[in-house]
Amino acid sequence: MSISVIVKIVVTVLILGGTALSILSAFGMLRLPDVYTRTHAATKSTTLGVLCTLLGTFLYFWQTQDIVSIRLLLGIVFVFLTAPVAGHLICRAAYRSGVELAQESTEDELKKVLDKREKREN
């Protein structure tokens, strides 16, 4: 098997895998109960899905047209850095504005820490 066929198989697996992960996170957005678990689904699996798709695209253009696209690499680094931070900020804003946890959750560890800190500062 020549190199180009191997690369094409790898590219196919990466792009299909990335698409599957994005679909999975869309299902997570629909099915999970509250904003925190939804952010968990939306940031983690979508980030990996986008990274897989971009990596597949990068490999494809590298192999077939000899284009080493710095923009795609930069995009991979950028999404990898920023998507989890966006999730963190959305979650934090939700917690600070008092969004309740789902019924099933048993423990709220951040609440204890925040209460203790408030007591210490008063």
Positions that interact with another protein (CB under 8 A): 70-71, 74, 77-78, 81-82, 85, 88-89, 96, 114, 117-118, 121
Residue closer to another protein (CB basis): 6 or 89: 89
d(CA 71, CA 75) in angstroms, rounded, equals 6
Q: Report, in angstroms and rounded to the nearest whole number, the Rg of the chain calculated over CA atoms.
A: 20
| 119 sits in which H/E element | helix 109-121
Residue closer to another protein (CB basis): 31 or 117: 117
- CA–chain centroid gap for 58, Å, is 19
**Shortest separation between residue 31's beta carbon and another protein, angstroms:** 28
**Shortest separation between residue 44's beta carbon and another protein, angstroms:** 16
